[in-house]
Chains A and B, each alone.
Chain A
Amino acid sequence: AQSVTQLDSQVPVFEEAPVELRCNYSSSVSVYLFWYVQYPNQGLQLLLKYLSGSTLVKGINGFEAEFNKSQTSFHLRKPSVHISDTAEYFCAVSEDSNYQLIWGAGTKLIIKP
């Protein structure tokens, strides 16, 4: 069955340092990949998505992610984080054209001043 693994439940990082949040998925077919962000006490919002084309995808707030088919990964990166990036980040995968999403468990990004 399709699954999504976010390897880190929490990632602490100093302000202005780079960060990578890891996401791996299991699927033998073409997939669509998404990262969502959830700020404290809010709903989720789309950060970026990969549907086809370039494997490097840029999103909002300076985030980007790279689709690696051979490693079945879609890691999220930001070169310099800010305190406002404190949030939980969710990776999600879909195999079908209805975009039914399978979700990872989430990674909490903790920014240290």
Chain B
Amino acid sequence: NAGVTQTPKFQVLKTGQSMTLQCAQDMNHEYMSWYRQDPGMGLRLIHYSVGAGITDQGEVPNGYNVSRSTTEDFPLRLLSAAPSQTSVYFCASGLGGELFFGEGSRLTVL
């Protein structure tokens, strides 16, 4: 029972580098989203998708890109990493308000 799978779990980048955080779900959920979690700030929505081919911006989209070519996959791309993007990133999929989260990807940008 995989649920939501995120890779990698840990990543260290240098300023200006790009990378992709992968997210896959096997529950056939139409809704998927990416959050970042920073101490004392709770969860902030970066981008979300309500189905294949449909994406939209959340609260903090700058510096991030997403695409949704299949129901299962929702990768998050950092275009040019900055130290302010050091955070823990969570992918979630859901149905009717219940979100299922991955275990998180801890990203450090030096």
Q: State whether A90 touches B42 (Cβ < 8 A).
A: yes
The B interface, classified by DSSP as helix, strand, loop or mixed, is strand
- The answer to whether B43 touches A99, judged by C-beta atoms less than 8 angstroms apart, is no
- State whether B31 touches A98 (Cβ < 8 A): yes
Complex interface: chain B residues within 8 A of A105 (CB): 40-42
* Contact in complex: A90, B50 (CB < 8 Å): no
Does A25 sit at the interface, judged by CB under 8 A? no
Q: Is the CB of A104 within 8 A of B98?
A: no
Give chain B residues whose Cβ lies under 8 Å from the Cβ of A32: 97
Interface of chain A: mostly helix, strand, loop or mixed: loop
Interface size class, chain B:
20 to 34
Tell me which residues across on chain A come within 8 A of B102, comparing CB atoms: 43
Q: How large is the interface on A (under 10, 10 to 19, 20 to 34, 35 or more residues)?
A: 20 to 34
A9, A44, A51, A106: the one contacting B99 at CB < 8 Å is: A44
CB pair B42 A103 closer than 8 Å: yes
Mark B residues whose CB is within 8 Å of A: 4, 31, 40-45, 48, 50, 90, 92, 94, 96-104
Chain A interface residues (CB < 8 Å from chain B):
9, 32, 34, 36, 41-46, 49, 51, 90, 94, 98-101, 103-106
